[in-house]
Structure 1
Amino acid sequence: MVVLKTTNITKSFGKFTALDGVNIEVKEGEIYGFIGPNGAGKSTTIRILLGMLKATEGSAEMFGMDVWDDAVEIHKRIAYVPGDVNLWPNLSGGEVIDLFMKMNGRVNKARKEALIKKFDFDPTKKCRTYSKGNRQKVALIAAFAQEADLYILDEPTSGLDPLMENVFQECVLEAKKLGKSVLLSSHILSEVEKLCDRVGIIRGGKMIETGTLSEMRHLTRTNFTVKTKEPITDLNKMKGIYNLEEKNAELSFQVDTEEIDAIIRYISGFGIVKLESAPPTLEDLFMRHYEGTASDSGSQGEL
């Protein structure tokens, strides 16, 4: 079952096109990673999904309902966490969490208390005293304490320390076990890689790649470190070799996935003493897509 679907979403601000034909599909029980640099169009897309902006062209639906026309009904079934949480300064964190939960109407007090403990959060302090990380905890606790069917998370771990990032990841995986769906917008690639079933990459307002991590890794290069009995000659002339460096009698380089077999066969002829390989990561994929494209994200701000 498809929980969220956008079809050729376009959004223009005057002559500037922030989104250009964005297609996203999130299935029930799926964690979908939505990645791209600042200014790529992630937040604009999410604002359209939340009914805060109306798309110039295209359509977007959640649970079979239009995100603009049926925003009120949709919001009863979703939980949203922004990357920069603003709270009422004179209310306590606990009061704000309760307020958010009452607005949703699907309250689970036991889960709320468990999350407060899990996130090591003091709900008695006034919000004006909270650090950015603690303000983020308020939104995360309120979101995961709700009985939502879809969680829309826009840079949700901004300001959290590594320990709390791990707690967040546990919460996301628990939601998935319960059959919930998650749209996770992030530029923390290790986070996306750990959690997501499928990933969509957006650049300059356009979706440039979508698929599972295994499907997308054909675009990445594997890192190798090798030491041989005899010096390897002409390796730089081999197809698919990149960033070749020599240090302490060892060679390090990257190899296109489809050329690994040929490269291994070649270097084995020089007598392999040591061979290490690091599997391609989502970061490799991301950086390769963005090589030489700084202008796409340099001056647009976060959209």
Structure 2
Amino acid sequence: MHSVTGEPHAAVQATGLSKRFGRTLAVDDLSLSVPPGEVFGFLGPNGAGKSTTIRLLLGFLRPSAGTATVFGVPAADVRQAHRTLGYVPGDVALWPDLTGGEILELLARVGPGIDPGYRAELVRRFEVDLGKPAKAYSTGNRQKVALVAAFASRAPLLVMDEPTSGLDPLMEQVFRRCVAEARERGQTVFLSSHQLAEVEAVCDRVGILRAGRLVEIAGIPELRRLHRTSVEIGYRGAEPSLGDVPGVMDVERPRAGLLWFTLAGPPGPALRALAAADVTMLSMREPTLEEIFLDYYGENAR
């Protein structure tokens, strides 16, 4: 897994990668490099082209232009490239008549080797019933089987496309711990997600995809500028004074006694300003990534 110069190959390398479906340019001149041992987040709203990019990196699709490699092996050489990776798709399909345990055994035999003791621990942590046939599994349980198989493998690269879509919050925490353990074991993780909080919790760097184009690659501290919180308040009497409050943006007044605004950064200054008014209702929510992108990148984010 080293180049002719002796330098280690990138775990994932894309150069000028493009994919066109008819008139639609799904991936547009994408270049990125993920070094071995990094947890790389691939962030973008649904429909941004994340899954298409992953299918190009895995050799499942042929690019319209550009190249992709996995540890220096062309992605198109699927047999060779897949010896070094484990893959968890966003919508997991399993053999319906095999039990979870039989599926894990089958995947262990065709993959790059597993750690049996760690696999047994993962089964306990993800609370997987291995005795059931796959056709009896919920979406979340199918996801868990695929995650156990991937995290238990000794694959140097784990590629995960929206891997927590079917998991409850408790299992999401288990997933995040497993990503940290994969990093500790020296594995590379390529994690596609539309959840800002998820990539912020586990990734070292993040590439941001918008309408098929890579907008930027940033470390987690730089990514925090994307944080926004949507706030709605009801009040009696005089309107709270938010004009010069740090972090408060986009104040709207849909009707008398109601305010909407967006908050970036620490909430303290805004809460102090609100405390001076007669607030009757306060609601705060994380906006969707699509809303964050529209706010940060403007209408071009569409």
TM-score by length of 2: 0.78
The answer on 1:26 being equivalent to 2:30 is: no
Q: Which residue of 1 aligns with 2:69?
A: 61
- Structure 2: segments with no counterpart, 5+ residues: 1-7, 233-237, 278-284
Residues of 2 paired with 1:289 and 1:98: CA distance? 42
Confirm whether residue 48 of structure 1 aligns to residue 48 of structure 2: no
Pairing 1:101-140 to 2, within 5 Å after superposition: 101-140=108-147
Distance 1:64 1:137, change over 3 A: same
Please tell me the residue identity of whatever aligns with 1:41: G
- Equivalence for 1:181: 188
Asked whether the 8 Å contact 1:222–1:255 carries over to 2, the reply is yes
Residue in 2 that maps onto 1:93: 100
Structure 1 residues 1-303: aligned runs within 5 Å? 2-68=10-76, 70-218=77-225, 220=227, 235=243, 241-243=249-251, 254=262, 287-291=291-295, 293=299, 296=302
Cα offset for 1:76? 0.9
The Cα offsets for residues 238-285 of structure 1, whole Å up to 9 and x where unpaired, read as: 998432679xx999854677xx9xxx7xxx9x9x979xxxxxx99687
The CA deviation at 1:107 is 2.5
Q: Residues of 2 paired with 1:186 and 1:219: CA distance? A: 15
Distance 1:114 1:19 in 2: 38
Contact 1:9–1:58 (CA<8 Å) still a contact in 2? yes
Cα 1:158–1:255 shift into 2, 3 Å: closer
Asked whether the 8 Å contact 2:100–2:134 carries over to 1, the reply is: yes
What percent identity do the matched residue pairs reach? 41
Structure 1 CA distance, aligned partners of 2:263 and 2:60? 44
Partners of 2:242 and 2:276 in 1: how far apart? Answer: 19
Contact 1:33 1:185 in 2 (8 A): yes
Amino acid at match of 1:51: G
Deviation at 1:167, TM superposition (A): 0.9
Q: SS state of the match for residue 235, structure 1? A: coil
Task: Summarize the Cα distance change of 1:111–1:220 in structure 2 as closer, same or farther, 3 Å threshold.
Answer: closer
Secondary structure of the structure 2 residue equivalent to 1:58: strand
**RMSD over aligned Cα, in angstroms?**
3.7
SS at match of 1:76: helix
Is there any run of 5+ residues in structure 1 with no aligned partner, and where? 275-280, 297-303
Alignment partners' CA distance in 1, 2:90 and 2:242: 49
CA distance in 2, matches of 1:169, 1:223: 26
Shift of 1:170: 0.9
Aligned-residue offset at 1:217: 3.2
Matched letter for residue 138 of structure 1: V
CA shift in 2, pair 1:102/1:288, >3 Å: same
Write the deviation string for residues 158-189 of structure 1: whole angstroms up to 9, x where unpaired: 21111111111111110011111111111122
Question: Which amino acid in structure 1 is aligned with residue 293 of structure 2?
Answer: H
Is the Cα contact below 8 Å between 1:193 and 1:282 reproduced in 2?
no
Instruction: Return the alpha-carbon distance in structure 1 between the equivalents of residues 192 and 89 of structure 2.
Output: 10
Q: Which amino acid aligns with 1:287?
A: E
User: Partners in 2 of 1:186 and 1:88 — Cα distance?
Assistant: 26
CA contact (8 A) 2:100 2:145 kept: yes
Within 1, Cα distance between the matches of 2:157 and 2:214? 22
Q: Which moved more, 1:59-68 or 1:76-85?
A: 59-68
CA distance change for structure 1 residues 27 and 164 in 2, over 3 Å: closer, same or farther? same
Amino acid at match of 1:177: E
- Name the residue aligned to 2:235: none
**How far apart are the structure 2 equivalents of 1:193 and 1:74?**
28
TM-score (norm 1): 0.78
